[in-house]
Amino acid sequence: MAATYHFSVTPPGESVAIVIREDDSEGTLLHASFAGKRVELSDRSLLAAFLRHPLLALKVIGGIHWEALKLWRKGIAYHGRPALPARAVTIVSPEGANSWK
């Protein structure tokens, strides 16, 4: 895809905000945002999150399997994950290092 991504991230403090916009030659394709506030990671906060959204994990797992079933019914072949490289390598070209914002 010939698209450009624009990122806006506020440094995390008591709150955090992230905005992502994807554009192509015809205009905006995607606009996504997230805003959240800092909460102490504790047993109590984890339990509260679970009680607020008790079936969230099951919903995500179910959704993934539902989409996989639809692909399987269409006859899409499964391709396993390729073998891992002998060493982990990340290559960043100098001209591409500052191309996203």
Q: Name the 3-class secondary structure at 73.
A: helix
What is the side-by-side strand order in the sheet with 4-9? Answer: 4-9, 15-24, 27-37
15, two tokens: 């709150």
Cα-Cα-Cα-Cα dihedral of 62, 67, 71, 77, to 10°? -70
Per-residue pLDDT of the chain (101 residues; tens, 9 = 90+): 688 999 999 988 999 999 999 999 999 999 999 999 998 999 999 999 889 998 998 999 999 999 999 999 999 988 888 888 888 877 777 765 554 54
Q: How far apart are CA 32 and CA 20, in angstroms?
A: 5
- Read off the DSSP letter of residue 74: T
